[in-house]
């Protein structure tokens, strides 16, 4: 999720029509994400996820891996969407060419919303008495995260890279936004919105408590390092996960083991 | 572009043509549909005809591969929305550009692209024009040339297509909008063809507008994931 520093040639699909210049949003280890006009909805954008060919891999193997990974991600999104997990819909894909177009999700990543809420003054944290502060809007967001992850796991999908950067806060309609003016209302707005889970590039279908617990563990660690000042609220995510997902107790039990030993089950390899 | 055709002349003497029954106060024309991520030497046009009475004849022309009838004829009752339709159109044009057509031409590809599996004949039967069944008809015309056409020539081209369509289709042309499509969508058919019955997210969604938006998204996703 870092700012791209180098210009890459865009994929062929984005060079066919000269009307718009694609906007590179992120550049990851495996793929790139562009913001580009939707092929089917006028005046709307879509996200194009592109996995460029890897020159260090054998071409046949590379083509096969790229195709399988795009297809697998599209399948996971379809499965989640059907089950009511909030994820972007797939609009079109060409797995052989290494791309798929998905719905553009408006709003900011959850990471940004939480950091806006927490504000700019970490040195104050030690002296702030949290009981004096109304933290309800932030706690509500944590609960929505737990519900979203619970829904995801209920579907039989584990995400593989759960972080607050891989969740979007899709703004609510104006009439459901928190009322009022001033700092308090502004802060509440920062953490308002539906949680939409994105980037299923590492996702897989799994029903095992172990895989689910690792998902939660990755989120817990990411949360602690991205939002250390909100770490003491992380348990709200797990609490609502427990309510949202029937098989949560087994997963949370497993999470204790995973915390003891870390993400990798085996020390081999 | 917006001129109504004065004559119903056709170069195919086998077709007995009738004047379309358009209310005289409505000036209709063939709508150019701009599509993103498609080379500019491709042009897409679309129209919707209500209460079509000669579906059997039109289908015969398709089956006999009459070159005058290179159109995508789609049974409008199977279409959830304009975006749903355009997803199939876009996919067909993209396949043509990439040289990956699975059917004889780009027009049949539009119809086959509406399907969620790879059975082409099945796609024609469900989404294509069918005698005695098709009452409302979506027509898509896709044209290409080595170089992009100047605007004046595009208008002329659209006028020619429109003249032919209104001469051959016995029906009432309306605009190809979401509102007009919504008048003719058979949601039971859409649910069946896209396997949407019992899909949890639809049962969870109480608001009818939102549920239809989700059915549209699921149909588009089914098409995008065809064969997976």
Asked if A201 and A138 sit in the same domain, the reply is yes
Q: What's the pLDDT at A93? A: 96
**Segment A48-77 mean pLDDT:** 94
Interface touch A78/B221, C-beta < 8 Å: yes
Label residue B12 by pLDDT band (50, 70, 90). very low
- Which among A103, A132, A165 is the end of a domain? A103
How many whole angstroms separate alpha carbon B205 and alpha carbon B199? 11
How many whole angstroms separate alpha carbon B62 and alpha carbon B134? 14
CB A213 within 8 A of CB A264: no
Dmax (CA) of chain A: 62
For residue B65, give every residue at least 6 positions away whose Cβ sits within 8 Å of its Cβ, in sequence order, or none. B104
How many whole angstroms separate alpha carbon B108 and alpha carbon B59? 12
User: Per the structure, how many domains does chain B have?
Assistant: 1
Interface touch A39/B86, C-beta < 8 Å: yes
What percentage of residues in chain B have a pLDDT greater than 70?
88
CATH of the domain at B178: 3.30.2380.10
Label residue A28 by pLDDT band (50, 70, 90). confident
Residues in chain B within 8 Å Cβ distance of A17: 35-40
> By CA distance, what is A46's nearest residue in B?
B36
Q: Per the domain annotation, does A7 fall within a domain?
A: no
Asked if A168 and A254 sit in the same domain, the reply is yes
Label residue B35 by pLDDT band (50, 70, 90). very high
Q: What's the pLDDT at A177? A: 60
Residues in chain B within 8 Å Cβ distance of A71: 228
- Which among A52, A75, A103 is the end of a domain? A103
Q: Per the domain annotation, does B151 fall within a domain?
A: yes
Q: Per the domain annotation, does B162 fall within a domain?
A: yes
The helix (run of H) or strand (run of E) holding residue B47 is: strand B42-50
Asked if A63 and A133 sit in the same domain, the reply is no
Give the range of the structural domain holding residue B124, as residue numbers without chain letter: 31-186
Label residue B2 by pLDDT band (50, 70, 90). very low
A-interface mutation test, from B199, B221, B222, B223, most A Cβ less than 10 A away: B221
Q: Per the domain annotation, does A5 fall within a domain?
A: no
Q: Per the domain annotation, does B86 fall within a domain?
A: yes
**Segment A104-111 mean pLDDT:** 96
Is residue A182 predicted with pLDDT exceeding 80?
Answer: no
Structure tokens, B179: 């509102």
> By CA distance, what is B199's nearest residue in A?
A82
Give A106 to chain B, closest Cα distance, Å.
17
- pLDDT per residue as tens digits for the range B89-121: 999 999 999 999 999 999 999 999 999 999 999
Please tell me if residue A100 touches chain B, with a CB cutoff of 8 Å: yes
Give A227 to chain B, closest Cα distance, Å.
32
Q: Per the domain annotation, does B113 fall within a domain?
A: yes
Lowest mean pLDDT among A17-21, A95-99, B144-148: A17-21
Asked if A53 and A92 sit in the same domain, the reply is yes
How many whole angstroms separate alpha carbon B194 and alpha carbon B117? 10
Please tell me if residue B6 touches chain A, with a CB cutoff of 8 Å: no
Asked if A123 and A245 sit in the same domain, the reply is yes
| Per-state percent for chain B, helix, strand, coil, to nearest 5 | 45, 10, 45
Q: Per the domain annotation, does B3 fall within a domain?
A: no
Q: Per the domain annotation, does A266 fall within a domain?
A: no
Q: What's the pLDDT at B200? A: 96
* pLDDT top residue among A179 and A238: A238
Lowest mean pLDDT among A126-135, B4-13, B182-191: B4-13
Mean pLDDT, chain A, rounded, equals 89
Query: Helix crossing, A136-154 with A209-226: angle to 10°?
Result: 150
Q: Per the domain annotation, does A213 fall within a domain?
A: yes
Interface touch B224/A93, C-beta < 8 Å: yes
A-interface mutation test, from B36, B201, B218, most A Cβ less than 10 A away: B36
CB B172 within 8 A of CB B20: yes
Interface touch B200/A83, C-beta < 8 Å: yes
Q: What's the pLDDT at B53? A: 96
Asked if A150 and A98 sit in the same domain, the reply is no
How far CA B83 is from CA of A103, B34, B161, B189, B191, in Å, comes to 12, 13, 23, 17, 17
**How many alpha carbons fall within 13 Å on the CB side of residue A196?**
21
Helix (H, G, I), strand (E, B) or coil at B113: helix
Asked if A52 and A124 sit in the same domain, the reply is no
Asked if A113 and A90 sit in the same domain, the reply is no
Residues in chain A within 8 Å Cβ distance of B36: 17, 19-20, 36-39
Within 10 Å of residue A68's Cβ, how many Cβ atoms?
11
- Which among A103, A138, A165 is the end of a domain? A103
Highest mean pLDDT among A25-34, B5-14, B86-95: B86-95
Asked if A80 and A140 sit in the same domain, the reply is no
**Segment A228-257 mean pLDDT:** 96
Asked if A21 and A48 sit in the same domain, the reply is yes
CATH of the domain at A41: 3.30.200.20
Give A80 to chain B, closest Cα distance, Å.
9
Residues in chain B within 8 Å Cβ distance of A78: 221-222, 225
**Segment B23-35 mean pLDDT:** 75
Q: Which of B87, B97, B228 sits opposite A40 (nearest CB)?
A: B87
Q: What's the pLDDT at B3? A: 42
By annotation, the residues of A acting in catalysis are 161
Please tell me if residue B207 touches chain A, with a CB cutoff of 8 Å: no
Query: How many residues would you count in chain A?
Result: 269
Which contacts of B202-205 are long-range, i.e. CB under 8 A and separated by 24 or more positions?
B204/A84
Q: What's the pLDDT at B193? A: 97
Phi, psi of B72 (to 5 degrees): -95, 115
Q: What's the pLDDT at A133? A: 72
Please tell me if residue A83 touches chain B, with a CB cutoff of 8 Å: yes
ipTM: 0.89
Please tell me if residue A16 touches chain B, with a CB cutoff of 8 Å: yes
Q: Per the domain annotation, does A160 fall within a domain?
A: yes
| CA atoms B25, B161, B129, B170: torsion sign | positive
Residues in chain B within 8 Å Cβ distance of A97: 98
B-interface mutation test, from A82, A93, A102, A170, most B Cβ less than 10 A away: A82
Closest CA to B205 of B218, B189, B195, B192: B218
Structure tokens, A48: 């194009």
Is residue A268 predicted with pLDDT exceeding 80?
Answer: no
Q: Which of B39, B97, B224 sits opposite A90 (nearest CB)?
A: B224
Asked if A64 and A136 sit in the same domain, the reply is no
Lowest mean pLDDT among A113-117, B11-15, B82-86: B11-15
Residues in chain A within 8 Å Cβ distance of B83: 40-41
- pLDDT per residue as tens digits for the range A144-175: 999 999 999 999 999 999 999 999 999 998 75
| CA atoms B60, B62, B63, B65: torsion sign | positive
How many whole angstroms separate alpha carbon B184 and alpha carbon B74? 12
Residues in chain B within 8 Å Cβ distance of A103: 217
Helix (H, G, I), strand (E, B) or coil at B220: helix
Asked if A136 and A43 sit in the same domain, the reply is no
Is residue A15 predicted with pLDDT exceeding 70?
Answer: yes
Q: Per the domain annotation, does A269 fall within a domain?
A: no
**Segment B117-131 mean pLDDT:** 95
- pLDDT per residue as tens digits for the range A188-227: 899 999 999 999 999 999 999 999 999 999 999 999 999 9
Label residue A127 by pLDDT band (50, 70, 90). low
Helix (H, G, I), strand (E, B) or coil at A27: strand
Q: What is the DSSP letter of A107?
A: S
Residues in chain B within 8 Å Cβ distance of A89: 217-218, 220-221
Burial class (CB in 10 A: 0-12, 13-18, 19+), A212: buried
Q: What's the pLDDT at B9? A: 39
Helix (H, G, I), strand (E, B) or coil at A99: strand
Please tell me if residue A68 touches chain B, with a CB cutoff of 8 Å: no
User: Per the structure, how many domains does chain A have?
Assistant: 2
For residue B19, give every residue at least 6 positions away whose Cβ sits within 8 Å of its Cβ, in sequence order, or none. B8
Is residue B10 predicted with pLDDT exceeding 60?
Answer: no
CATH of the domain at A205: 1.10.510.10
**How many alpha carbons fall within 13 Å on the CB side of residue B100?**
11
Give the range of the structural domain holding residue A90, as residue numbers without chain letter: 12-103
Label residue A132 by pLDDT band (50, 70, 90). low
How many whole angstroms separate alpha carbon B92 and alpha carbon B114? 10
Is residue B47 predicted with pLDDT exceeding 80?
Answer: yes
- Any bridge partners for residue A50, and if so which? A32, A99
Please tell me if residue A20 touches chain B, with a CB cutoff of 8 Å: yes
């Amino acid at each position: 999720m870092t700012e791209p520093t180098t210009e890459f040639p865009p994929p062929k699909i984005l060079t066919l029509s000269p009307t718009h210049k694609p906007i590179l949003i992120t550049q990851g280890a495996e793929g790139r994400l562009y913001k580009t006009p939707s092929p089917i909805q006028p005046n709307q954008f879509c996200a194009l996820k592109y996995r460029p060919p890897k020159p260090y891999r054998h071409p046949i193997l590379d083509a096969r891996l790229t195709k399988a990974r795009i297809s697998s991600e599209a399948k996971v999104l379809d499965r989640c969407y059907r089950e009511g997990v909030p994820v972007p819909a797939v609009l079109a894909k060409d797995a052989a060419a290494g791309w798929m177009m998905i719905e553009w999700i408006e709003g900011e990543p959850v990471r940004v919303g939480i950091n806006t809420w927490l504000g700019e003054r970490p040195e104050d944290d030690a002296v702030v008495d949290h009981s004096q502060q109304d933290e309800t809007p932030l706690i509500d967001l944590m609960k929505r995260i737990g519900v979203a992850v619970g829904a995801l796991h209920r579907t039989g999908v584990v995400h593989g890279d759960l972080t607050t950067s891989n969740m979007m806060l899709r703004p609510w309609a104006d009439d459901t936004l928190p009322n009022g003016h001033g700092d308090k209302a502004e802060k509440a707005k920062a953490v308002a919105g539906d949680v939409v889970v994105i980037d299923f590039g590492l996702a897989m279908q799994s029903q095992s408590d172990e895989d689910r617990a690792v998902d939660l563990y990755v989120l817990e660690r990411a949360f602690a390092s991205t939002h250390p000042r909100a770490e003491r609220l992380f348990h709200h995510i797990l609490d609502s996960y427990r309510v949202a997902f029937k098989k949560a107790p087994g997963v949370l039990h497993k999470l204790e083991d995973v915390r003891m030993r870390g993400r990798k089950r085996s020390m081999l390899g | 572009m917006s001129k109504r055709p004065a004559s119903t002349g056709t170069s195919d003497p086998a077709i007995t043509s009738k004047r379309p029954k358009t209310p005289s106060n409505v000036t209709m024309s063939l709508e150019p549909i701009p599509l993103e991520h498609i080379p500019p030497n491709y042009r897409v046009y679309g129209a919707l005809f209500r209460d079509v009475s000669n579906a059997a004849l039109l289908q015969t022309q398709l089956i006999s591969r009459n070159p005058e009838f290179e159109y995508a004829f789609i049974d409008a009752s199977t279409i959830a929305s304009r975006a749903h339709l355009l997803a199939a159109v876009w996919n067909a044009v993209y396949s043509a550009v990439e040289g990956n057509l699975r059917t004889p031409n780009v027009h049949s590809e539009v119809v086959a692209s509406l399907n969620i599996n790879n059975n082409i004949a099945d796609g024609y039967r469900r989404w294509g024009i069918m005698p005695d069944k098709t009452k409302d008809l979506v027509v898509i015309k896709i044209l290409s040339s080595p170089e992009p056409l100047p605007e004046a020539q595009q208008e002329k081209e659209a006028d020619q297509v429109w003249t032919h369509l209104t001469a051959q289709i016995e029906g009432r042309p309306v605009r190809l909008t979401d509102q007009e499509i919504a008048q003719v969508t058979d949601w039971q058919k859409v649910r069946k063809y896209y396997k949407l019955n019992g899909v949890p997210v639809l049962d969870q969604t109480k608001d009818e507008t939102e549920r239809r938006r989700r059915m549209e998204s699921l149909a588009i996703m089914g098409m995008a994931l065809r064969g997976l």
